[in-house]
Amino acid sequence: MMALLSFWNTNLDGTLHIVWSTGYVGYDVHLSGSGPELRGTAHYFTDTNPLLRTNRDTAIMAQRVGCKESAK
């Protein structure tokens, strides 16, 4: 079974940091913005092919969504 090592946090400046990883490969995502749109960069990382030297950064865009409180 493969473990997922993922987390997210917001920073005091309003930016969002997300890490999604299998433990071998993953993405390190940094987003910022105002209103419903967030823009930033996703950096792909791996330790399965350390000799791979291509550009691993991708420009990304995300939309904010509201979270509803669950019924008790």
Judge whether 16 and 28 are in contact, CB under 8 Å: no
Q: How confident is the model at residue 39 (pLDDT cuts 50, 70, 90)?
A: very high
pTM for the predicted model, two decimal places: 0.72
In the predicted structure, residue 64 carries a pLDDT above the cut 90: no
What DSSP element (H or E) covers 60?
strand 57-63
What's the confidence (pLDDT) of residue 34?
78
In the predicted structure, residue 72 carries a pLDDT above the cut 80: no
What's the confidence (pLDDT) of residue 69?
80
| Calpha distance 19→29 (Å, rounded) | 6
Name the residue with higher pLDDT: 51 or 64.
64
| Calpha distance 59→24 (Å, rounded) | 22
